[in-house]
């Protein structure tokens, strides 16, 4: 509203009407209480149209619903009152010298939103100008500015869409590859829900494109559902931090899946996460000469994973087995003595 106010003062001056196409060139200096000297340098304005019509045209361009509510003129003094639909009001009090070559004016704005503001102006006529040409030149500049702004907005929108598409694709890839880090800030804030930076980050994403958060949250839900399966749990390496982000625990997933893995002999899952269920299989296939002979085979990955987490010994042999082993060793010694 303040910028609108500053722009309006240059077109809402109640100068006397002059012939169409001709105009008066005025040098206008403005000042406001508390504003440093030189902050608002003098500007030259070509005035040639009826001021009320110019003011209304300017407000139309600014899409401000304002209108003149009162106008009083006495000699060289003119007072104009205006009101806008947002409740703000403006009063322009202007006085010319006898030759109408200089003026002084006060413009007061009252607004509940922006507060009260007063601006004083002084002006002096410095020559003649072509009002029509000046207006066309001004309109051409405004058209260029509007086109430039529109182009910048379009470029900004394109960049935002490109960013949103990239984030959405990244979340989809993260879910496919079971890569929690690929969810970026959406995944981090699922884990660190009390992080004060998360709210501002999420607000920024939603402001830019609500589709990013919507899509990434959906992909995280897919991830968490898959995380609770043997295949997904393996790919995510049973990460407890990720389980926290999904609202579950690794212990609960193991409790549900280990019995299933034992029935189907899902060796990769058993060897890494189900020590109790895996132990009988490991005792038969991961120790002694049997294991050495089977290296590289079906049980190689299972045994490597299992033995990395648990020490294992074959169960002690039965008495009968011990007797058989003793007899066998004795026979071997006898054969050695007789050279056989």
pLDDT in tens, 306-318: 988 876 545 544 4
Query: What residues have CB less than 8 Å from 10, skipping those under 6 apart?
Result: 28, 43, 45
The whole model's pTM is what?
A: 0.55
Between 161 and 319, residue with greater pLDDT: 161
3-state helix, strand, coil in the chain (%, to 5): 55, 20, 25
Q: 62 pLDDT exceeds 50?
A: no
Q: Could you tell me if 105 and 87 are in contact, meaning their C-beta atoms sit under 8 angstroms apart?
A: no
Q: What is the pLDDT of residue 289?
A: 53
The residue-averaged pLDDT of 103-126 equals 89
User: 295, 300, 311, 254: which is closest to 277 by C-alpha?
Assistant: 254
DSSP structure class, residue 46: E
Q: Could you tell me if 228 and 248 are in contact, meaning their C-beta atoms sit under 8 angstroms apart?
A: yes
Between 113 and 248, residue with greater pLDDT: 248
Q: What is the pLDDT of residue 220?
A: 96
Residue 320 CA: distances (Å) to CA of 26, 30, 118, 288, 324: 121, 113, 111, 20, 6
Place of tokens 């040639």: 48
**R_g (Cα) of the chain, nearest Å:** 43
The residue-averaged pLDDT of 86-99 equals 91
Q: What is the mean pLDDT of the chain?
A: 80
Q: 63 pLDDT exceeds 60?
A: no
Q: What is the pLDDT of residue 290?
A: 55
Measured in Å, how far apart are the chain's first and last C-alpha atoms?
113
Between 298 and 15, residue with greater pLDDT: 298
Q: 5 pLDDT exceeds 50?
A: no
Q: What is the pLDDT of residue 311?
A: 65
Q: Mind listing the pLDDT tens digit for each residue in 127-177?
A: 988 878 887 888 899 999 999 999 999 999 999 999 999 999 999 999 999
Give 248's pLDDT tier (boundaries 50, 70, 90): very high
* Rounded percentage of the chain residues whose pLDDT exceeds 90: 47
Q: 334 pLDDT exceeds 60?
A: no
Between 255 and 113, residue with greater pLDDT: 255
Q: Across the beta sheet with 102-110, what order do the strands follow?
A: 43-47, 23-31, 117-129, 102-110, 89-96, 77-84, 66-74
Q: Could you tell me if 42 and 154 are in contact, meaning their C-beta atoms sit under 8 angstroms apart?
A: no
Q: What is the pLDDT of residue 193?
A: 80
Between 329 and 274, residue with greater pLDDT: 274
Give the Cα separation of 336 and 49 in Å (integer).
129
Give 178's pLDDT tier (boundaries 50, 70, 90): very high
DSSP structure class, residue 19: -
């Amino acid at each position: 509203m303040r910028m609108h106010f500053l722009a309006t003062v240059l077109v809402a001056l109640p100068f006397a009407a002059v012939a169409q196409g001709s105009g008066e060139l005025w040098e206008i200096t403005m000042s406001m209480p508390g504003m440093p000297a030189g902050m608002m340098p003098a500007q030259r304005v070509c005035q040639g149209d009826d001021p009320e019509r110019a003011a209304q045209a300017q407000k139309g361009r600014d899409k401000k619903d304002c209108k003149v509510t009162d106008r009083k003129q006495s000699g060289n003094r003119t007072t104009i009152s205006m009101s806008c639909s947002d409740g703000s009001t403006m009063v322009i009090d202007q006085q010319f010298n006898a030759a109408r070559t200089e003026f002084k004016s006060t413009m007061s704005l009252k607004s509940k939103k922006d507060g009260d503001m007063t601006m004083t102006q002084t002006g002096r006529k410095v020559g003649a100008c072509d009002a029509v040409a000046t207006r066309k030149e001004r309109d051409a500049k405004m058209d260029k500015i509007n086109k430039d702004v529109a182009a910048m907005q379009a470029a900004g929108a394109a960049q935002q869409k490109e960013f949103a598409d990239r984030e959405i694709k990244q979340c989809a890839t993260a879910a496919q590859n079971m890569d929690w880090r690929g969810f970026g800030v959406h995944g981090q804030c699922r884990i660190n829900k009390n992080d004060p930076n998360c709210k501002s980050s999420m607000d920024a994403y939603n402001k830019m494109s609500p589709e990013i958060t919507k899509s990434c949250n959906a992909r995280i839900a897919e991830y968490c559902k898959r995380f609770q399966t043997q295949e997904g749990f393996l790919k995510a390496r049973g990460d407890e931090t990720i389980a926290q982000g999904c609202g579950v625990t690794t212990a609960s997933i193991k409790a549900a899946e280990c019995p299933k893995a034992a029935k189907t002999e899902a060796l990769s899952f058993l060897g890494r996460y189900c020590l109790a269920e895996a132990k009988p299989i490991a005792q038969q296939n991961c120790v002694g000469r049997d294991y050495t002979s089977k290296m590289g085979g079906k049980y190689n990955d299972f045994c490597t994973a299992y033995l990395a987490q648990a020490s294992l010994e074959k169960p002690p042999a039965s008495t009968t087995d011990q007797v058989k082993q003793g007899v066998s060793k004795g026979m071997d010694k006898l054969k050695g003595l007789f050279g056989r």
